[in-house]
Amino acid sequence: MTELRFADASDAALVLRVGRYNREALAEIYRRHGGAVFGLARRLVSDQARAEEITQEVFLRLWNSPEKFDPARGALRSYLLAQCHGRSVDAIRADVARRRREESEHRKTAEAGYDLEREVMDMVTAERVRNSLAALPSVEREPIELAYFGGHTYREVAEILSEAEGTVKSRIRAGLKRLRTDLLTEGVTA
Amino acid sequence: MTANHPPSNDSAGASQLDELLCVYALDAVEAPERAQVEAYLLSNADARDEVDGHHEVAALLAVGTTDAAPDAPAGLWDRISEAIDDNPITEADAQQKEFPELSAPAATRQRPGDVPTSSGEGSASTSPALSESTPGGSPKSVLPPSSASQPNRARRIGAPLLAAAAALLLIGGFLAGRVLSSSNDGAPSVEERASAIFDDPDARSVSLISEADDTLVVPAAFGADDIGYLDGSTLPELPNDRTYQLWAIYDDDDVVSLGVLGNDPGIKTFLADEDLSVLVVTEEVRGGVTSSANGAVVAGEI
């Protein structure tokens, strides 16, 4: 049998091995993408311990259900980050709901917590992403940031920005399409 | 990404759901809408494509603008590994898996207008058992998980091996799909690539044959990129509630579902590890199965 050299294997080949319960393959996937997943979780939930829990959940899900990853629908990193984002947002909303129950505090004005100057894993990708994002009209950029990095629903975003819900949806859609065009046509992939 | 989604029975509802796809991809919908969108996605490939596109952009945003940690926290991997030990996959979990169809050219991937036919009905039941039909006399069979023996599997838990293999199948098919879908711009079509591989005298190839009908031969061949091509056009068309399913048997006796082929397969692609030793096609219920008790429709040793 040919031994797969994990360090040289593609992400897809590694997931294939995870499907055969190979823990070393999962370890290699974690080595490649664990930092990105954890970084996103930490940014979103702003809590080291919770971010670690979310990261753990994401990789356990891949271990338990590798068939959920469909390489035809995107890169492994995209999949893992989407999983991470969903869980992080759930955590944010659960925390918000808890706080609402515990105290009748004033509703906070959303802060996307956006910081373009911080280091990123892939500097080339980061620069292009930053450039593309910065080039977006603010009416498209703001709702994307509030939704994706702020963990807000589009209805909340509409309220924060004092815009109609339909307007927010259409601007997010237009912004995402513009970003996709800018980034993917340059060969930038996740 | 596209807004040209097929008409729906409730076009107004579909239009509203289309508008939600972008915010759904950013997890910016509330739970009831999320459920609606996810139900919509199940039946709308264009909508899925659009969401996939948005997810890809979102991932770029995350990678490109987040303070990513080059190394995840020390000790976290150890905790993940311990959690794997503590939470073995149950057979019930595995049995819930449903297999999408293996990647194929768009023209043959979906046939919503197909009329059910009985031309292939019962072909599995009349086929010999896989253990009898596997060429080369190797006593391998598509066994239920409890019967599968995997002494060399370095796995702590006794989870359903075939179910795991079945998961792999799906992945294998999708892997191939990824490779193909990512090279669509001006690249040869799947049919053209398959044709080139089938015509290449140096390509590794195998003929899957039926013991019940020696005229039934399904060719498969392997490219240098570990992508396998199977020409299922010679298989009799099955009713819509049935499907062909492709299995791999590896050198270490792993039995892995490589994906469902549909009820009327043409050219299909799959990922082919180098230690793949036998390919088998069975007939199953639509959606596929995690383990099969059916005999081989065709099989071939590589």
Residue B31 burial by CB count (10 A; 0-12/13-18/19+): exposed, middle or buried? exposed
Of B65, B83, B108, the last residue of a domain is B65
Q: Is B115 on the interface with A (CB under 8 A)?
A: no
- For the ranges B150-164, B225-239, B246-260, B270-284, the maximum mean pLDDT occurs at B225-239
**Lowest-pLDDT range of B36-40, B261-265, B275-279:** B275-279
Residues 6+ apart with CB under 8 A from B7: B14
- Looking at residue A11, its pLDDT comes to 83
Q: Are residues B51 and B164 in the same domain?
A: no
Total number of domains in chain B:
2
- Residue B293 belongs to some domain of the structure: yes
B60 and B120 part of one domain: no
Comparing B54 with B164, the larger pLDDT belongs to B54
**Touching check for B152 and chain A: CB below 8 Å?**
no
What is the average per-residue pLDDT within A13-42? 86
CB-CB under 8 Å, A86 with B171: no
Nearest to B70 by CA among A145, A120, A13: A120
Report the pLDDT value the prediction gives residue A174, as an integer from 0 to 100. 94
Q: Write down the pLDDT at residue A29.
A: 92
Domains of chain A: 1-105 (1.10.1740.10), 109-190 (1.10.10.10)
pLDDT score of A74: 74
Asked if residue A44 has pLDDT above 60, the reply is yes
- pLDDT-derived band at A30, boundaries 50, 70, 90: very high
A12 alpha carbon, distance to own chain's centre:
20
- pLDDT category at A105 given cuts 50, 70, 90 is very low
Q: Report, as an integer, the average pLDDT of B158-185.
A: 34
DSSP, collapsed to helix, strand or coil, labels residue A3 as coil
Residue B79 lies in a domain: no
| B110 alpha-carbon distance from chain centroid | 14
Test the B interface: residue of A50, A53, A73, A127 with most B CBs within 10 Å: A73
The residue type found at A115 is: D
Mean pLDDT estimate for chain A: 79
Going from the C-alpha of A26 to that of each of A14, A43, B56, B103, the distances in angstroms are 7, 24, 22, 24
Same domain, B250 and B172: yes
User: What does pLDDT average to over chain B?
Assistant: 65
**Domain containing residue B30:** 11-65
> Is B85 contained in some domain?
no
Question: Averaging pLDDT over each range in A112-116, B151-155, B293-297, which range is the top one?
Answer: B293-297
Q: Is there a single domain that holds both residue B117 and residue B210?
A: yes
Residues 6 or more apart whose CB falls under 8 angstroms from that of A164 comprise A158
User: Do the domain assignments include residue B264?
Assistant: yes
Q: How confident is the model at residue B117 (pLDDT cuts 50, 70, 90)?
A: very low
Residues whose CB falls within 8 Å of the CB of residue A145, separated by 6 or more in sequence, listed in order: A112, A114
Q: Which residues of B touch A13 (CB under 8 A)?
A: 175, 271
Using CA atoms, how far apart are residues A179 and A158, in angstroms rounded to an integer? 21
Chain B residues touching A120 at Cβ < 8 A? 63-68
Of A115-129, B142-156, B271-285, give the range with the top mean pLDDT.
B271-285
Asked if residue B50 lies in contact with residue B2, where contact means CB atoms within 8 angstroms, the answer is: yes
Residue B44 has pLDDT above 90, yes or no: no
pLDDT of residue B22 exceeding 70: yes
Give the one of B55, B97, B170 whose C-beta lies nearest to A78's C-beta.
B55
- The listed range with the strongest mean pLDDT (A138-152, B76-90, B158-172, B242-256) is A138-152
* Same-domain check for residues B230 and B179: yes
Q: What is the dihedral of CA B200, B205, B181, A183, to 10 degrees?
A: -70
Q: Is the pLDDT of residue B256 over 70?
A: yes
| pLDDT the model gives residue B65 | 64
Among candidates A34, A63, A120 on the partner chain, residue whose Cβ is nearest the Cβ of B64: A120
Average of per-residue pLDDT across B108-115: 27
CB contact under 8 A, B256 and A19: yes
In this predicted structure, the answer to whether residue A165 has a pLDDT above a threshold of 80 is yes
Residue A57 confidence (pLDDT): 94
In sequence order, the 6+-apart residues with CB closer than 8 A to the CB of B257 are B99, B162, B165, B166, B167, B168, B169, B170, B245, B246, B247, B248, B288, B289, B290
Of all residues in chain B, the percent with pLDDT exceeding 70 is: 57
Measured in angstroms, the CA of A114 and the nearest CA of chain B are apart by 8
Q: What is the pLDDT of residue B297?
A: 92
- Calculate ∠ Cα B68-B70-B73, nearest 5°: 90
Q: What is the pLDDT of residue A157?
A: 94
pLDDT of residue A53: 94
Q: Please, which pLDDT band fits residue B137 given cuts at 50, 70 and 90?
A: very low
Inside any domain, residue B156: yes
Scanning A46-122, the segments in alpha helix (DSSP H) are 48-64, 76-102
Residue B150 neighbours by CB under 8 Å, 6+ apart:
B161, B252, B253, B254
Check pLDDT > 60 for residue B168.
Answer: no
- Beta carbons within 8 Å of A187's beta carbon, 6+ residues apart: none
Give the one of B26, B77, B178 whose C-beta lies nearest to A71's C-beta: B178
Q: Does A107 lie at the interface with B, CB-CB under 8 angstroms?
A: no
pLDDT value for B172: 38
Contact A112, A144 (CB under 8 A): no
The band of A36, judged by pLDDT with boundaries at 50, 70 and 90, is: confident
Task: Please check whether residues B47 and B107 belong to one and the same domain.
Answer: no
Do B286 and B181 lie in a common domain?
A: yes
Sort out which chain A residues have CB atoms less than 8 A from B166's CB and list them.
Answer: 67
Flag whether residue A2 sits within 8 Å of chain B, measured between CB atoms: yes
Q: Which residues pair with B16 in a beta bridge?
A: none
**For residue range B49-104, what is the model confidence (pLDDT) as tens digits?**
888 888 888 888 877 765 545 567 878 999 999 988 876 655 444 444 444 455 43
Terminus-to-terminus CA distance in chain B, angstroms? 40
B211 in a structural domain: yes
Predicted confidence (pLDDT) at residue A106 exceeds the cutoff of 80 = no
Q: Are residues B176 and B45 part of one domain?
A: no
Q: How far is CA A11 from CA A6, A71, A75, in A?
A: 9, 9, 8
Task: pLDDT band for A84, please (50, 70, 90 cuts).
Answer: very high
Beta carbons of A72 and B177 less than 8 angstroms apart: yes
Residues B53 and B120 in one domain: no
Mean pLDDT (whole number) for A22-44: 89
- CA–chain centroid gap for A78, Å, is 8
Contact A158, A165 (CB under 8 A): yes
A118/A38: higher pLDDT: A38
Q: Is there a single domain that holds both residue B22 and residue B167?
A: no
Sorted by sequence, the CB contacts under 8 Å of residue A61 that are 6+ apart come out as: A68, A83
pLDDT (0 to 100) of residue B115: 27
Q: Is residue B36 part of a domain?
A: yes
Q: pLDDT for B215-245, tens place per residue?
A: 888 999 887 666 788 999 999 999 988 989 8
Question: Are the C-beta atoms of A60 and A47 separated by less than 8 Å?
Answer: no
Lowest mean pLDDT among B5-14, B49-58, B231-240, B276-285: B5-14
